[in-house]
Amino acid sequence: MLEAVDLECVRGDRPLFSHFSFGLAPGELLHVRGRNGSGKTTLLRTLCGLTHPAAGAVRWNGADINALGDEYRDQLSYIGHSNGIQGELTPEENLRVDVTLSGNSDAEIIRATLERLGLAPYLHFPSKVLSQGQKRRLALARLFVQKKSLWILDEPLSALDVSSVALMTELLVDHLERGGMIVMTSHQEIEVETKSVLKTIKLD
C-alpha cells in the first residue's frame, strides 16, 4: 500500500504542486497525467525516494519511506527517462547487474525475459548497438527480472513501436492481476481490459 500525504514539490525555486495526496493498493495502477513541466517526473522520483519533497510524506504500509530506507527500496523497481543501461555491457550482463542489485538470485529468468522482449538476437552484443526502441525494451526488462511489487515508470512506452506497446501493456496488466502496483506517467491513453482499478490523476 503506497500513500502520498500532502506532498509539495519544488524544482529549484519553482513550486510544482502542493497538497497532493493519493493512495494505491495492490492491483491498482495510477496514471499520472499533466502538461510538460507540471512535475510528473519529480513526483515519481519523490515516490522512489530519490528526490525529497518540500513538504508532506510518502508512506509504504504506513511507514515513512525515509525511515524504511533499504527496506522500501527492496519493494520497488524504477524506470526513469534514462534507460539505466551500461552501453559496454551486453543485455544479459546489464540484466545480471539489475538482478544482483535487486537482491534476487534468480538468474535463469534473464534469458527468458530477453527472449520474450525480442532481444535474444543481441545477447552477446554490447548494449550500445541497440536501437532506441530496443534499449527501452531492455530497460523495461528490468521489471521482470527484479520481480518487485511496486513499479514506478516514467513514460515507459515512449520510443516503443506498436507491437511492443501492445506487449508491454499486456505485461503491465499481468502484473496488476498478480497483485502488483504501478505508478506511471504516459502521454498515451492507456486502454486496458482489466478487472484491476485504473486511477487517473492530473497534476496541474
Partner 1 sequence: MHKYASPKFFYSLAGQLTPWLAALTAVLLLAGLYFGLFVAPPDYQQGESYRIMFIHVPAAWMSMFVYVLMAGAGAVALVWNIKLAEMFAACCAPIGASFTFLALVTGSLWGKPMWGAWWAWDARLTSELILFFLYIGYMALQASIDDPRRAARASAILALVGVVNIPVIHFSVNWWNTLHQPASVSRMGAPTIAPIMLVPLLLMALAFTIYFFTVVLMRMRNEILERERHTGWVAEMLNSES
Partner 2 sequence: MPNLLKAVAFLFRRDLTVALRRSTDILTPLVFFVIVVSLFPLGLGADPAVLRTIAPGVIWVAALLATMLSLNRLFANDHADGTLEQMALAPYPLTLLVFTKVAAHWALTGLPLVLISPLLAVQMNLADSAIGTLVLSLLLGTPVLSLLGAVGAALTLGLRGGGVLVSLLVLPLYTPVLIFGAGAVSGVVTGLDIEAQFSLLGAFLALAVTFAPWAAAAALRVSLD
Q: Which residues bind partner 1 (CB under 8 A)?
A: 10-13, 15
Pinpoint the alpha helices (H) of the chain: 40-48, 65-68, 70-73, 91-101, 109-116, 132-146, 162-177
Encoded one letter per residue, x for contact with partner 2 by CB under 8 A and - for no contact, window 7-26 reads --------------------
Residues in the chain: 204
Residue nearer to partner 1 on the CB measure, 54 or 97: 54
d(CA 143, CA 186): 17
170, 140, 184: which is closest to 28 by C-alpha? Answer: 184
Residue nearer to partner 1 on the CB measure, 54 or 198: 54
Among residues 52, 111, 178, 202, the one that binds partner 2 under rule CB under 8 A:
52
Query: Of these partners, partner 1, partner 2, none, which one is at the site of residue 74 (CB under 5 to 8 Å by kind)?
Result: partner 2
CB of 81 to partner 1, least distance (A): 18
Query: Of these partners, partner 1, partner 2, none, which one is at the site of residue 76 (CB under 5 to 8 Å by kind)?
Result: partner 2
Instruction: Tell me how far the alpha carbon of residue 81 is from its chain's centroid.
Output: 10
